[in-house]
Amino acid sequence: MYKRFFAGILLLVSLAVQADSSVWRVSKGTDQLWIGGTVHLLPPAQYPLPAEFDAAYQQSTVVVLETDLSQMQDAANARLLQQELMYPAGTVLSSKLSGKTKELLQTLLQEHRLTLPQVEQFKPGMLVTQLTLLELQQQGFSSPGVDQHFLTLASQQKKTLKYLEAIEFQLKLLGDLGAGREDLFLQHALSDVEQSADLMDKTLRAWRAGDLNQVDQLILAPMKAADAQTYLQMFTARNQAWLPQIQALFGNKEQELVLVGLGHLAGPDGLLALLQQAGYQVETFRLTP
């Protein structure tokens, strides 16, 4: 399930059906910005990226990302990662799991030549993230995602960079996933991990096509049905927190490109629907032949 966070229809049906790009133009009067739906990890064959991303980037003076990924290289944040994503001494994940869930976890770990003692200190969100990454790497997902690509490019070209969330917030969010209900969280998440490659393949096709209906069906609706609390934490609450920050980007002379995970744009709780409800015009950004 957690992989579905990387990699949520009423107001978006026409957008999703007609779209052939995962970049949208959001405007109010003559003021506009671009929002691109991203995938956080890609196979090399997905490069070059769809031309609309590069076109929106070239027209932008400001790039807005979810968080500053480069901060993970900072030693202080490395310590924070351990503090937020790992249990303190004396606490182990297996003590919070039923025999059935523990057996499922051990089976999956064996496939990656890992043992339960090696991951006992991981909190559920950290564990599922690591297992999902291992699954995807085995399937050739070895290239940086869209976010990292443009973070690197914008840094090199000295474009202004802004962020919707602090890295500390994202680490705490990941560490809080499944807290107090570890067994239920892992029951859903571990059963999905082995399907990561297939899900990502379908998600990539939806991403290339800008098919938000498919994104909703693949990622958001299943999560909402299986684990409403995680859906609220990962999508609804964050989208609502990001909305005023995106609205604040209007009313200046800058041109902004906002890049967020594709799942944050789909569904009635997604940013595109929220922006439409707030009176903004949302349309697919297409390059004319």
| Dihedral class, residue 38 (left if φ above 0, else alpha if ψ from -120 to 50, else beta) | beta
Output the pLDDT for position 289: 61
Domain segments of the chain as ranges: 69-249
Strand 23-28 vs strand 31-38: parallel, antiparallel, or unpaired?
A: antiparallel
Using alpha carbons, list the distances in angstroms from residue 34 to 59, 102, 271, 286. Answer: 9, 45, 12, 11
Q: What is the pLDDT of residue 92?
A: 96
CA distance 210 to 285: 10
pLDDT in tens, the chain (289 residues): 333 333 322 222 223 333 478 999 999 999 999 999 999 889 999 999 999 999 999 999 999 999 997 877 677 777 888 899 999 999 999 999 999 999 999 999 999 999 999 999 999 999 999 998 888 888 888 888 999 999 999 999 999 999 999 999 999 999 999 999 999 999 888 877 877 778 888 999 999 999 999 999 999 999 899 889 999 999 999 999 999 999 999 999 999 999 999 999 999 999 999 999 999 999 999 987 6
Distances (CA, A) of 157 to 67, 146, 254: 19, 16, 16
CA pair distance 8, 12, nearest whole angstrom: 11
- How confident is the model at residue 170, as a pLDDT? 93
Residue 198, pLDDT score: 82
Whole-structure pTM over 0.75, yes or no? yes
pLDDT at 79: 83
> Which residues are 256's β-sheet partners?
62
